[in-house]
Amino acid sequence: MPQHAPNTPVCRDCDGFATVAITTGTRHRDGTRATLHVTCPACNGTGRALPTPALARIGR
């Protein structure tokens, strides 16, 4: 029997990779690299697509 995975919508801006680490090129005293952790501004770091707001009908 095939296993079905839940259909969770993935963020279209980050493709599910909501948080990334970017190296700055500098090193700390112990030799490790300095990194910046950046989250996706579209999904606020969740990796899932936010529900679209309902369209409002304006006029007649």
The larger pLDDT score, comparing residue 37 to residue 50, is at 37
Task: For residue range 20-45, list pLDDT tens digits in order.
Answer: 999 999 999 999 999 999 999 988 88
The HSE-up count of residue 53 (CA atoms within 13 Å, CB side) is 3
Give the CA distances from residue 51 to residues 28, 41, 43, 57, in Å, rounded to whole numbers and listed in that order.
Answer: 41, 15, 10, 18
**Residue 28: predicted pLDDT:** 94
Cβ-contact 10, 42 below 8 angstroms: no
Give 3 or 45, the one with higher predicted confidence. 45
User: What's the whole-model pTM score?
Assistant: 0.59
